[in-house]
Amino acid sequence: MAKKIILNEKDLPTKWFNLIPHLPGPLPPPLHPGTRQPAGPDDLAAIFPMNLIEQEMCPDSWVPIPEELLKVYSIWRPTPLVRADRLEQFLGTPAKIFYKNEMVSPPGSHKPNTAVAQAYFNKVAGVKRLTTETGAGQWGSALSFATHIFGLGCRVYMVKCSFYQKPYRKSLMRLWGGEVFPSPTDMTNAGRQILAKDPDTPGSLGMAISEAVEEAATNSDCNYSLGSVLNHVCLHQSIIGLETQKQFESIGLKPDVVIGCAGGGSNFAGLAFPFVKEKIDGRDIKIIAVEPAACPTMTKGPYRYDFGDTAGTTPLMKMHTLGHDFVPAGIHAGGLRYHGMAPLVSAGIKHNLIEPQAKHQLECFEASVTFARTEGFVPAPETSHAIRAAIVEALECKKTGQEKVIVFNFSGHGHFDMSAYDDFFDGKLHDYDYPKEKIDAALASVPQVE
């Protein structure tokens, strides 16, 4: 078998897959933050274009990918499916381990799959510029890349502590023409209110979302763009899993275990949802979403309505949540430090289609080092969670002798996270757990709906 299973550009999927109509029950609708009634398309129109709102609420299984977007995807897609045979040998497992390599995009992660789609549909709708938030900078750099391709402006509110700790993802945004500000700023009401209470706040994703949403809502030529969580984001990311299905088909295999790390849920959803459909249709398949133990949204947070941002300005979504003002510990997997989880992933957990797992930081870094020393490529700290889970599954096969086929999403490279590896080798990293009291306290501010 070849090391890399490669598709031709003519085999690029031409439609995205939508999980919504296949769920065993209806997906609970978003609620208006004021009225707490189901939010209609018009309630979202202040910050999203109607074509994306239609995708967000789409009842169809398939949504065509526009020709112009397929051309942009071809810059880095189809991405390779890689047999991690060197890792298998190191582990001494009879399992076959594969990874879908999403690091090959210009920004180095899966994020541009939806960034270019969102930029395209906003452009078509006549929007001139986009605002967004970013934590470690993966999403901000992907959207800067995407908006530049379609000639839109881009303003990124970057969580303040990351702005100063991760200067090079900021440089990347600048290279692609994005404007970046350390959030909270004094440019928005939300930012000014937060700064008035705590001028030295390190910032958080929830705060940065509040700022980006406010700017989009109060400027008519400007929309907001979110890099995860929402249904249309999961839709765009489905191209990952659709390619993976074709790649396995080309070598006559089907995965028994499908794994992705999950912060907001989009890279996991992208790989997993086409396989969730196979599971709904009756195939025996284990689908694992891996989160950090330091931010245990799926494994310890309840499934209930909550806001997407700190200020409580977004619609309420039914999801696993740790409370919208929960601030997780400063782990290096910045992209997994979000209080909520995609409503579609949350619903998949409720219907027992998806198994959530939580992993600690140190075991994940260990897994990343093992991966880099066998397969070569350097994983992002987020990706290390998926690798850890894959190694655990493979070692289980070693015990049982089962020759399972395991696939995980290599969501991004760690080239801009090398200081995290230094901290790991220098013994500076610690594991974090959240005691129940702390979670209960954070949940106290979540509105009671239902």
Binding positions for its own copies, rule: CB under 8 A: 2-4, 6, 8-10, 71, 74-76, 86, 104-106, 108, 145, 148-149, 167-168, 171-172, 174-177, 369, 372-373, 375-378, 413, 415-416, 418-419, 421-422, 425
**Rounded Cα distance, 160 and 164, in Å:** 7
Cβ of residue 245: shortest distance to its own copies, in angstroms?
20
Cβ of residue 16: shortest distance to its own copies, in angstroms?
20
Which is nearest to 263 in space by CA: 128, 382, 362?
Answer: 382
What is the separation of C-alpha 312 from the centre of its chain, rounded to a whole number of angstroms? 21
Nearer to its own copies, 121 or 416 (CB): 416
Nearer to its own copies, 173 or 327 (CB): 173
Residue 398 contacts residue 90 (beta carbons within 8 Å):
no
Cβ of residue 404: shortest distance to its own copies, in angstroms?
23
Cβ of residue 2: shortest distance to its own copies, in angstroms?
4
Nearer to its own copies, 100 or 277 (CB): 100
Within 10 Å of residue 349's Cβ, how many Cβ atoms? 19
224, containing H or E segment: strand 222-224
Distances (CA, A) of 194 to 204, 212, 216, 307: 11, 14, 19, 17
φ/ψ of residue 427, rounded to 5: 70, 20
> Which residues 6+ apart lie within 8 Å of 55 measured at CB?
63, 121, 231, 232, 235
φ/ψ of residue 109, rounded to 5: -150, -175
Cβ of residue 179: shortest distance to its own copies, in angstroms?
13
Cβ of residue 42: shortest distance to its own copies, in angstroms?
36
Q: If you ran DSSP here, which 8-state letter would residue 38 be given?
A: B
Nearer to its own copies, 148 or 398 (CB): 148
Nearer to its own copies, 408 or 421 (CB): 421
**Rounded Cα distance, 91 and 436, in Å:** 35
Q: Tokens 């289609």 correspond to what residue? A: 353
Nearer to its own copies, 12 or 349 (CB): 12
Nearer to its own copies, 149 or 347 (CB): 149
Cβ of residue 135: shortest distance to its own copies, in angstroms?
18
DSSP-assigned states of every residue in 247-261 = HHHHTT---SEEEEE
